[in-house]
């Protein structure tokens, strides 16, 4: 199983950028994709994220979560179709030939369009955050958040929560494999998936509580609140960071001009 929200050790272009540059990248991409309602433009942004990942040598890691993203996208579209039946009816989720409940969930052009827009926004945001997290070491992120004046307690909580996600994912996969090795057979299909949750969730929660206790003791032993913190490596802005910043300003300005033209 591919790990999510996990730093990938490489010496690529994104890895060499300053954390502030990558934070600015996420901010600009997020604002543009949230304000945009054009399917073609959002599709272009998805392609741009894939090209950036390929240039940063992170395309394989990014596409490793494609299955989960596709499942979430189908859920988004289905919810939108059920809650926003607007526009011309293209068909029905339940065919009209089915007795009693046939034709009760229409697929409309308005609902489908809104669902696709929300899905593309979701994909762009997920790709952008994945690129940021896969190319930024936690220590660099902590240093950047400290420099902007964020309290260290909140920084610590954010980093721990971020780091625990891939840890719990790996632990859950190991527990599942251990259960199968002991002869546990939850069955196949959707019912089997439901039956396999409890044997994984209970030891997973128990291990997570044990890890949190060990983590608390480790933090205290390392003198979390004693003295001034120092950093082995100080990140500084390089010419590539200024170049990316200029490109982000140009992209944001071009999008703003496009939005103003549409409003006129």
Note whether residue 245 is domain-resident: no
User: Does 258 reside within a domain?
Assistant: no
Residue 241 lies in a domain: no
Within a domain: 115: yes
The pLDDT value given to residue 96: 65
Both 147 and 175 in one domain: the answer is yes
Element (H, E) at 91: strand 89-92
What sign does the dihedral 90-104-71-108 (CA atoms) show? positive
16 and 126 housed in the same domain: yes
Token look-up 């827009």 returns: 117
Please give the Cα distance from 209 to 152 (Å, whole number): 23
Together in a domain, 125 and 147 = no
Cα 25 to Cα 132: distance, rounded to the nearest angstrom: 9
Show the tokens assigned to 171: 């632990």
pLDDT of residue 30: 92
Task: To the nearest 10°, report the CA torsion of 168, 169, 172, 178.
Answer: -120
pTM of whole model > 0.85? Answer: no
Same domain, 25 and 41: yes
> 104 and 28 in one domain?
yes
Residue where a domain terminates, one of 84, 102, 136:
136
* Residue 108 DSSP code: E
Distances (CA, A) of 215 to 79, 137, 164, 201, 208: 40, 19, 11, 21, 10
- Based on its alpha-carbon atoms, the radius of gyration of the chain, rounded to whole angstroms, reads 23
| Cβ-based burial of 103 (10 A; exposed 0-12, middle 13-18, buried ≥19) | middle
Count CB atoms within 10 A of the CB of residue 248.
17
Clarify whether residues 95 and 147 are in a common domain.
Answer: no
Measuring CA to CA, which residue among 183, 204, 184 is closest to residue 192? 184
What total number of domains does the chain contain? 2
Residue 255 in domain: no
Same domain membership, residue 147 and residue 91: no
Regarding whether 201 and 73 lie in a shared domain, the answer is no
One domain, residues 147 and 218:
yes
Strands 106-108, 89-92: parallel, antiparallel or unpaired by DSSP? Answer: antiparallel
Q: Examine the domain organization and report whether 109 and 143 are in the same domain.
A: no
Residue-number span of the structural domain to which 158 is assigned = 138-234
Q: Is the same domain home to 207 and 94?
A: no
226 in any annotated domain: yes
196 is a domain residue: yes
Which residues of the chain carry a pLDDT beneath 70? 1-5, 92-105, 186-190, 192, 222-233, 264
Q: 257 in a domain, yes or no?
A: no
Q: Are residues 190 and 218 in the same domain?
A: yes
């Amino acid at each position: 199983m591919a790990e999510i929200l996990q730093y990938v050790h490489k010496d690529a272009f994104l890895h060499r950028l300053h954390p502030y540059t990558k934070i600015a990248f996420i901010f600009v991409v997020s604002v543009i994709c949230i304000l945009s309602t054009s399917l073609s433009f959002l599709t272009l942004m998805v392609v741009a994220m894939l090209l950036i990942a390929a240039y940063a040598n992170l395309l394989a890691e990014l596409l490793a979560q494609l299955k989960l993203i596709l499942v979430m996208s189908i859920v988004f579209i289905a919810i939108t179709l059920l809650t926003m039946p607007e526009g011309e009816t293209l068909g029905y989720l339940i065919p009209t030939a089915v007795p009693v409940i046939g034709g009760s969930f229409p697929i409309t052009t308005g609902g489908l369009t809104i669902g696709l827009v929300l899905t593309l926004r979701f994909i762009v945001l997920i790709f952008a955050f994945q690129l940021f997290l896969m190319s930024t070491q936690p220590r660099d992120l902590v240093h950047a958040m400290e420099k902007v004046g964020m309290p260290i307690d909140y920084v610590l909580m954010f980093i721990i929560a971020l780091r625990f996600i891939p840890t719990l994912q790996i632990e859950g996969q190991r527990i599942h494999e251990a259960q199968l090795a002991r002869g546990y057979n939850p069955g196949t299909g959707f019912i089997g998936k439901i039956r396999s949750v409890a044997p994984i969730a209970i030891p997973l929660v128990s291990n997570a509580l044990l890890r949190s206790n060990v983590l608390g003791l480790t933090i205290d032993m390392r003198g979390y609140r004693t003295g001034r913190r120092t950093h082995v490596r100080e990140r500084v802005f390089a010419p590539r960071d200024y170049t990316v910043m200029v490109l982000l300003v140009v992209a944001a300005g071009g999008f703003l001009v496009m939005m103003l033209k549409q409003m006129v």
